[in-house]
Amino acid sequence: MQRANCCLSARLLTRCVRFEGVIEEVLALAAGNAASVGVAIEIPHGPVVQTLVDAGVKVFALNPKQLDRFRDRFTVAGAKDDRRDAHVLASALRTDRHAFWPVSLDSAEWAQLREESRRYEELRGDFTRLTNRLR
């Protein structure tokens, strides 16, 4: 979406779509200037965010409750629709960037520490479960 509230391109992504091709299309629309592209997203992690950040695109996240409030600007119906949500996110990023927070990915060490912490919690739960079975 441009500053004039004009949609340049719309694409529905499914799990089987090669996402890199979509990024190439977006960068072509931005004349190769990835820093001029802003992407609003609800979930601030995962392979989509990783790919966007790696391409140099600015990624911004929004709380789902905030998205719900921004959605009220466009429709009074509470129905959640992916196409409408994409339009709401793009419009809100254009007009209310202060409500979004920039996504920054953790270093590899932090990601590994988080994974080890999850694994520890899982093993601790298994230990408790097995101990209770012995009684």
Q: Which residue, 57, 53, 91, is CA-closest to 71?
A: 91
Length of the chain: 135
62 shares its domain with 3? yes
Q: Give pTM, 2 decimals.
A: 0.66
50 shares its domain with 78? yes
20 shares its domain with 69? yes
37 shares its domain with 24? yes
130 shares its domain with 84? no
Distance set, CA 98 to CA 29, 64, 102, 135 (Å): 25, 16, 10, 56
Determine the structural domain holding residue 51 and report its residue range.
1-104
The band of 10, judged by pLDDT with boundaries at 50, 70 and 90, is low
Q: What is the mean pLDDT of residues 4-15?
A: 65
Residues paired with residue 61 on neighbouring β-strands, in sequence order: 41, 101
pLDDT in tens, 32-81: 777 777 888 888 877 778 888 888 888 898 888 888 888 888 877 767 77
Residues paired with residue 40 on neighbouring β-strands, in sequence order: 60
Q: 123 is written with which tokens?
A: 């093993």
CB contact set of 85 (below 8 Å; sequence gap of 6+): 42, 67, 71
The band of 132, judged by pLDDT with boundaries at 50, 70 and 90, is very high
46 shares its domain with 76? yes
Write down the pLDDT at residue 126: 94
